[in-house]
């Protein structure tokens, strides 16, 4: 007997779930939804990571469809196209020739190196219209595939080489200074050595670069989602290295939340201008934590593995790429990030132009 299950009836004899609050009233039209939407992601929130190499032609990156290793000419073209769509920040990642790599990564502060030349070329062409960020870390320059200098004495944990913190910080300061001299607006240390933000701040200030910003990769986790990036730059920890084939002695453990707050308070104290969380979507709780517990703007890195997953599903027709990407970026913003580094930056900005998100 279904009669006993039926709902109460209103005066028109229609089913009636008696309730005064109906949240769906605020969702009833596009105009209503636009009015009450709490967060928006715009092209001005996006930072476009660009891979560069010292060749005359651009080269496709197989594991990151739509991304290329750029020549200087194709890089400038790409920056111009992104700018025309409202993306005003780029971050550069170099693929360094094997014969220029070494354990101490001296090439990272060569004033005639690939990155300083690229920075200078972008600043010359676009001036203050585009902010150039540089990644400060040794891995593209390291013949060990590590973000730091590896001890040569072999007395580290388990007999393997240790990553030498303070020796590395010395190199990072030279690298940051080299980038600043070339015209970088923002340096972004991604190495996770202790004390590097303060040391870089002091090195920049002592040389007159008080206006160069530091975006600290504050909570950078030892993540499997960096795989495609390391393939693109041939920068993965080497099997031949004396150090372990992972970055767990410096990047954070994915199980840790409170440790991110410690890293954040250190970076704030050392003079960081923005705090980054990386990867992005698997770490939304960390973005929220840093947003709520510090007073600095938060940056999120939607990393190569996250990009590759969306691309792979989209290529198979399993998701609507445009909808999934714009939703992903909006969710990073909602979690508390004001800037989002994403390989989708240019594409997303183009989609946003015809979008109601
Ligand atoms: C290098 C660096 C990495 C990424 C950004 N800077 C790789 C790593 O730490 O191994 C990863 C970015 C991505 O996966 O998109 N320090």
Q: Domain map of the chain by residue range?
A: 41-353
Residue in 123, 278, 333, 346 annotated catalytic: 278
User: Which SS3 state, helix, strand or coil, does residue 273 take?
Assistant: coil
Tell which atom from ligand 1 comes closest to the C-alpha of 303: 15
State both tokens at 49: 């990571």
Answer yes or no: is the ipTM higher than 0.90.
yes
State whether the beta carbon of 226 lies less than 6 angstroms from ligand 1. yes
To test the pocket of ligand 1, the residue of 230, 231, 276, 299 to mutate (highest count of ligand atoms within 8 Å of its CB) is: 230
What Rg do the C-alpha atoms of the chain give, in angstroms?
Answer: 23
| pLDDT, greater one: 132 or 356 | 132
Report the DSSP pairing between strands 149-150 and 213-220.
Answer: unpaired
Is residue 3 classed exposed, middle or buried when 0-12, 13-18 and 19+ CB atoms within 10 A define those classes? exposed
Ligand 1 contact, 223 CB (< 6 A):
no
pLDDT at 354: 80
Contact between 174 and 219 under an 8 Å Cβ cutoff? The reply is: no
CB-based burial label for 249 (10 Å; 0-12, 13-18, 19+): middle
Tally of helices (H runs) and strands (E runs) in the chain: 11, 12
CATH code, residues 41-353 = 3.20.20.70
Where residue 341 falls among pLDDT bands split at 50, 70, 90? very high
Query: What does the pLDDT look like over 180-208, one tens digit per residue?
Result: 999 999 999 999 999 999 999 999 999 99
pTM: 0.95
Residue 139 beta carbon below 6 angstroms from any ligand 1 atom = yes
In the predicted model, is pLDDT for residue 44 greater than 60?
yes
Q: Is 28 a catalytic residue?
A: no
Q: Which atom of ligand 1 is nearest to the CA of 233?
A: 7
Instruction: Identify the band that residue 357 occupies on the pLDDT scale cut at 50, 70 and 90.
Output: very low
pLDDT above 90 for 149 = yes
| Atom nearest to 236 CA in ligand 1 | 10
36 CA → ligand 1 middle, Å: 36
Per-residue pLDDT band for 144 (boundaries 50, 70, 90) equals very high
Structure confidence at residue 3 as a pLDDT band (50, 70, 90): low
Split at pLDDT 50, 70, 90, the class of 152 is confident
Q: Is 346 a catalytic residue?
A: no
Q: How far is the CA of 230 from the centre of ligand 1 (A)?
A: 7
CA of 270 to the centre of ligand 1 (A): 22
Kindly give the number of the ligand 1 atom that is closest to the alpha carbon of 226: 14
Distance 224 CA to ligand 1 centre (A): 10
CA nearest ligand 1 atom 5, residue: 190
pLDDT digits (tens, 9 = 90+) for 298-335: 999 999 999 999 999 999 999 999 999 999 999 999 99
- Specify whether the CB–CB gap between 77 and 119 falls below 8 A: no
Query: What pLDDT is recorded for position 288?
Result: 98
The answer to whether the CB of 174 is under 6 A from ligand 1 is no
CB count, 10 Å around CB of 321? 17
Range 250-271 average pLDDT = 98
Centre of ligand 1 to C-alpha 29, Å, is 42
List, for residues 80-119, the tens digit of each pLDDT value: 999 999 999 999 999 999 999 999 999 999 999 999 999 9
How far apart CA 146 and CA 131 sit, in angstroms, is 27
The DSSP-derived string for 11-78 is TTS-B----S--GGGGGSSHHHHHHH------GGGEEEEEEEESSSS-EE-TTSTT-EEEPHHHHHHH
At residue 232, the pLDDT reads: 87
When the pLDDT of each residue in the chain is averaged and rounded to a whole number, the result is: 95
pLDDT in tens, 24-40: 999 999 999 999 999 99
Q: Which atom of ligand 1 is nearest to the CA of 341?
A: 15
Q: How far is the CA of 166 from the centre of ligand 1 (A)?
A: 21
Top mutation candidate among 93, 229, 311 for ligand 1, by most atoms within 8 Å of CB: 229
Tell me what pLDDT residue 160 has.
58
């Amino acid at each position: 007997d279904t009669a006993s299950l039926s709902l109460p009836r209103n005066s028109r004899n229609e089913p009636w779930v008696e309730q005064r609050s109906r949240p769906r009233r605020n969702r009833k039209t596009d105009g209503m939804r636009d009015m009450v939407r709490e967060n928006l992601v715009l092209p001005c929130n996006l930072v476009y990571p660009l891979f560069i190499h010292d060749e005359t032609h651009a080269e496709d990156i197989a594991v990151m469809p739509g991304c290329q290793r750029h020549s200087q000419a194709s890089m400038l073209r790409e920056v111009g196209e992104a700018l025309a769509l409202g993306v005003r920040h780029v971050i550069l990642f170099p693929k360094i020739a094997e014969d220029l790599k070494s354990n101490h990564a001296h090439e990272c502060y060569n004033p005639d190196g690939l990155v300083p030349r690229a920075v200078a070329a972008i600043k010359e062409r676009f001036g203050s219209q585009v902010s150039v960020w540089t990644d400060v870390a040794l891995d593209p320059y390291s013949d060990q595939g590590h973000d730091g200098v590896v001890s040569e004495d072999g007395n580290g944990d388990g007999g393997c080489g240790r990553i030498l913190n303070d020796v590395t910080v010395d190199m990072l300061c030279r690298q940051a200074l080299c980038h600043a001299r070339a015209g970088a607006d923002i340096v972004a240390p991604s190495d996770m050595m202790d004390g590097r933000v303060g040391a870089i701040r002091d090195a920049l200030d002592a040389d007159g670069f008080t206006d160069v910003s530091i975006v600290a990769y504050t909570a950078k986790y030892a993540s499997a989602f960096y795989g495609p990036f390391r393939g693109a730059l041939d920068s993965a920890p080497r099997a031949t290295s004396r150090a372990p084939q992972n970055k767990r002695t410096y990047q954070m453990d994915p199980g840790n939340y409170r440790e991110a707050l410690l890293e954040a308070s250190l970076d704030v104290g050392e003079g960081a201008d923005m705090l980054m969380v990386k990867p992005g979507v698997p770490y939304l709780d960390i973005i929220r934590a840093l947003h709520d517990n510090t007073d600095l703007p938060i940056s999120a890195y939607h990393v190569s593995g996250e990009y590759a997953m969306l691309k792979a599903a989209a290529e198979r027709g399993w998701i609507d790429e445009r909808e999934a990407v714009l939703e992903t970026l909006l969710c990073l913003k909602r979690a508390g990030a004001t800037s989002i580094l994403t390989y989708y930056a240019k594409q997303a900005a183009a989609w946003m132009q015809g979008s109601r998100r």
